[in-house]
Amino acid sequence: MCGIVGYIGRQPAKKILIDGLRELEYRGYDSAGIAILQDSGFSTFKALGKLINLEKKSTSFETKGFSVGIGHTRWATHGKPTELNAHPHMGENSYVVHNGIIENYQELKNELQSDGVTFISQTDTEVIVHLFEHYLKNALEAFDAFKMMLSRIEGAFAILLVTTTKKNQIFFAKSGSPMILGINSEDEKFFGSSDAALIGKCENVIYLEDGDYGYLDEKDILLYNKDDKRQHLTFTSLPTSKLSAQKEGFRFFMEKEIYEQHDVISDTLIGRLSDEKIIFDELDDNFLDGINDITFSSCGTSYHSALTASYLFERYAKIKTSVEFASEFRYRSPLLNSSTLFVVISQSGETADTLETLKMAKDAGLKTLVICNVDNSSMVRLADYTILARAGIEKGVASTKAFATQVVVLWMLSLYIASKRKSLDTKEIAKEIKILREVPSKTIVNDELHERIHRLSKRYLHGHGFFFIGRDVFFPLALEGALKLKEISYLHAEGYPSGEMKHGPIALADPELFTIALLPKNMLYDKSKSNVEELSARDATICAISPVNFDKADDFIQISNTQHYMLEFFEMMVVVQLLSMEISIRLGNDVDMPRNLAKSVTVE
Ligand code: F6R
């Protein structure tokens, strides 16, 4: 998740920019850069890895007197983490930093390239600066060129741009990605993509609205809204707590991470979908050579992603899969066969048990792939192939957005393999891709839903246990729902296949047994419904989550009516995450740091 800072004033700009970026480190990043403009021209520094590398590269540089500067921390989405792909991106006389996605960048890039413009990075961002300079060359004023550029780009963005044509100005725009403008009594002006970057530097801020754009210099700020109307400047005072600023208005990191799932899933998808094809630049033509089956190995939530994948892979790619708990696999003398693709799934890339199984597979000569959220982690360094989940740094111990992005990657991978093995035709793949594009919107949390879950949660603070039940991919989702609840509420919860309840657990049914029933319309609805009715008949307390009203339930959470079970999967995922969180909050637990748990389990 990228971070942006900007500064205009007379203090040493390098320190201000890097300090601001340091406050955004919690968002995760793999490279960073700054561009500072003084009378003498631009000074630019970029470095891979941590900010200390950027500091080392710029040790001998200092500004004297007035300067303008922009800075950025980048979490790779479009193009690998390299210095060339790090921001700020350069034109002939200008630099830009950008958060978000320029959806029509390829079309703009083609247009600029045919005009003779050379691109040096793989990013979508670079089109912004070239497009701006293209209009500037047509003898427009810098601000007019900036506006022309804005009128051409589509997608989500927060942008800062500086140019030698106007050495004392910063141009800015916001649409979909956050951007805050701050001032202090010394006439200094700041930008940040989050409060955290501004606390301690300025007291008064404007939270820019979508469609806002403009420019500022030492004296003035010109702010326009989406209708091109000049805005009166209304400042609010900045919060003072850095920790709460990092939570961006949410009570817990877990809550923030649930809410940002639609954004990070968009990042997971970007560049990987065409109308009829899944694109994984990370995989080569030999990837599936000699492969007959797949073994997944992982722990905890990542195990649930693997289990979900096994349904999708067998359904779409028609390839045999097995799913292993890494902690079991490593000690049970498994038979390893070189025709097996060995896939480890891990948010952190450091989980000791999963890492060990990856080593075992490598030693046995198997082809290996890791699906991971952390670039340069131990697993990423070891595996033959890596696909990054792109969830951004996950701080809440209970995993949410990492799970969501893992499942999206695995669903895409099942389609990628299906196309290579020709188990689905182009039309069928195109249909699934259309559905994949709808996933981000299905994970947006609406206030009404959250409020309903909050109200319901007070009825689920006791009882002698919870069963989350579902069929097909909703069984791993049930496991995940139960795990979330256990981790942060400390209440006993189990995930179970709906059809298995009658083989034993139904003996527990009474009003104090809470059943969270996942009832998708598009996957085995009648079968699942009968299973829930069996429980209802025995007086278990039922909370049903479904698009279809269900009169045997004590409580009902309605999700939207869609045409695909995976869209129901992602909507229900958000519901079970929020339900666990609300129960935990009511019980007064520490949602982000539940007892006895650690974010990365590097011991066996
Ligand atoms: C649950 C959770 C854990 C992890 C497990 C594996 O919310 O976070 O169950 O999923 O420890 O961790 P990774 O995915 O980092 O290998």
Which pLDDT tens digit goes with each residue over 318-362? 999 999 999 999 999 999 999 999 999 999 999 999 999 999 999
End-to-end CA distance of the chain: 30
400 CA distance to ligand 1 middle (Å): 10
Which pLDDT tens digit goes with each residue over 347-405? 999 999 999 999 999 999 999 999 999 877 899 999 999 999 999 889 899 999 999 99
Residue 489, ligand 1, Cβ within 6 A: no
Residue 103 pLDDT: 87
Q: Is the pLDDT of residue 597 over 90?
A: no
Of the candidate CATH numbers 3.90.226.10, 3.60.20.10, 3.30.70.100, 3.50.50.60, the domain formed by 3-246 belongs to 3.60.20.10
Query: Which of 287, 318, 299, 293 minimizes the C-alpha distance to 387?
Result: 287
* Total count of residues recorded for the chain: 604
The stretch 55-82 carries a mean pLDDT of 89
In CATH terms, the fold of domain 254-442 is Rossmann fold (3.40.50)
Q: Is the pLDDT of residue 1 over 70?
A: no
Tell the residue nearest (CA) to atom 16 of ligand 1: 346
Which stretches within 364-462 are classed as H helix?
Answer: 378-382, 401-421, 426-442, 447-457
- Give me the phi and psi of 75, to 5 degrees please: -110, 110
Which pLDDT tens digit goes with each residue over 284-326? 999 999 999 999 999 999 999 999 999 999 999 999 999 999 9
The answer to which of 202-211, 321-330, 422-431 has the lowest mean pLDDT is: 202-211
Q: Is the pLDDT of residue 239 over 90?
A: no
Give the chain's largest Cα–Cα span: 80
345 CA distance to ligand 1 middle (Å): 10
Considering the chain, what is the average pLDDT of its residues?
Answer: 94
Residue 604 pLDDT: 66
- CB-CB neighbours of 188 under 10 Å: 18
Residue 478 pLDDT: 98
Whole-angstrom distance, CA of residue 12 vs CA of residue 25: 21
Q: Which residues are the active-site residues?
A: 2, 599
The stretch 551-575 carries a mean pLDDT of 97
325 CA distance to ligand 1 middle (Å): 12
Residue 85, ligand 1, Cβ within 6 A: no
Residue spans of the domains in the chain: they are 3-246, 254-442, 445-586
> Could you give the 3-state DSSP secondary structure of residue 113?
helix
Residue 26's pLDDT band (boundaries 50, 70, 90)? confident
Whole-angstrom distance, CA of residue 48 vs CA of residue 50: 7
The model carries a pTM of 0.81
Torsion sign (Cα): 421, 423, 426, 432: negative
Joined tokens for residue 599: 């974010």
- The CATH architecture annotation of domain 445-586 reads 3-Layer(aba) Sandwich (3.40)
**Distance set, CA 165 to CA 6, 108, 170, 218, 452 (Å):** 18, 23, 11, 16, 54
Q: Do domains 3-246 and 445-586 have the same CATH topology?
A: no
* % of the chain exceeding 70 in pLDDT: 99
61-65, 437-441, 597-601: which has the highest mean pLDDT?
Answer: 437-441
Residue 541, ligand 1, Cβ within 6 A: no
Burial class (CB in 10 A: 0-12, 13-18, 19+), 290: exposed
Which atom of ligand 1 approaches the CA of 601 most closely?
Answer: 11
19 CA distance to ligand 1 middle (Å): 31
Residue 28 pLDDT: 74
Residue 601, ligand 1, Cβ within 6 A: yes
Residue 415, ligand 1, Cβ within 6 A: no
The stretch 440-463 carries a mean pLDDT of 94
